[in-house]
Amino acid sequence: MNDPGDPPGPVPGLVTLHVWRVPRRRLPRVLARMAVDARRLRRVDGVRFAKLLGTGTGTGFGPTDADPTRWAALVAWADPAAAAGFDTGPVARSWRRIADAAVRVDLRPLHSRGRWSGVAPFGTPSGGQPDAGRPVLALTRARLRPARALTFWRAVPPVAAALAQADGLHCRFGIGEAPLGWQGTVSVWRGTADLTRFAYRHPQHRAAITQTPVKQWYAEELFARFEVLGVAGDRAVLGWLGEDVDRTCGAGGG
């Protein structure tokens, strides 16, 4: 792992988000997979950065928000060719055996700032715009300072409620590496303008941005924005039920 002071690495050739829907009765098998596959995933050829993640509803970040039926992997690849074999590899096969439904989202990094586990996993993208008509995915991730956690959790509900009603939002859910203190969100938007409008013009979200440096909630944080290149599988796993995904994204990533 790089030192926190190291310069960011190169921009990945492709980032993939894999999400699985697993019946509650298979939770023991899920926990076994989480324990074993995190290391296996990082050793796959072409993987630059990878995290196995639990998910939540996105309405809060406490234990009651966790969704034990949905699990995810986020992977940054050296190039698309390296990513092509993931779905037939041992990690994906092990999850497919226990999942009822799955979806893969292929992503091109547009912007990234901050660090995750001490590194900048998406490099320093040029800040480009998505191709016309393509959705964008926003990823936030933070490690809370324990002493600041309570004030953070109190600030979340108004922002989450506003996000659920935001214009141009296709879907959103929480992600986490641990039940408490290590969390983030994934949200998919119709386009950059919709994401920007919510992030910087919505009063609840603007208030949260203003409070962040004052309250010093985070020991580490990251924000990244991606172009959605393709969606393959059951998009309902993401909570994305609209028709736009069929019109703007290829069925299999490109």
Residue 64: predicted pLDDT:
67
Give the range among 21-25, 162-166, 233-237 with minimum mean pLDDT.
162-166
pTM: 0.84
pLDDT on residue 108: 96
When the pLDDT of each residue in the chain is averaged and rounded to a whole number, the result is: 81
pLDDT tens digits for 150-189? 555 565 656 666 677 788 999 989 898 865 545 788 999 9
Quick check: 2 pLDDT over 50? no
pLDDT score at 8: 61
Core vs surface per residue 67-82: b (16+ CB within 10 A) or e: eebbbbbbbbbeebeb
Mean pLDDT of 200-218: 52
Are 218 and 144 in contact, with CB atoms under 8 Å apart?
yes
CA distance 67 to 58: 10
Residues 132-141: tens digit of each pLDDT: 889 999 998 8
Question: CA distances (Å), 214 to each of 51, 210, 237, in order?
Answer: 29, 7, 36
Percent of the chain with pLDDT over 90: 53
Residue 132: CB partners within 8 Å, gap ≥ 6? none
More confident residue, 203 or 113: 113
Assess whether pLDDT exceeds 60 at residue 208.
no
Question: What tens digit of pLDDT does each residue of 52-81 get?
Answer: 999 987 665 555 678 999 999 999 999 999
> Which residue do the tokens 């639990």 mark?
54
99 has pLDDT over 60? yes
Assess whether pLDDT exceeds 90 at residue 220.
Answer: no
Give the pLDDT confidence of 32-45 residue by residue, as tens digits.
999 999 999 999 99
pLDDT the model gives residue 214:
42
Give me the mean pLDDT over the 80-86 stretch.
Answer: 93
Checking if the pLDDT of 105 tops 80, the result is yes
Q: With contact defined as beta carbons under 8 Å apart, do 224 and 139 qualify?
A: yes
3-state secondary structure at position 64:
helix
Residue 213: pLDDT over 70: no
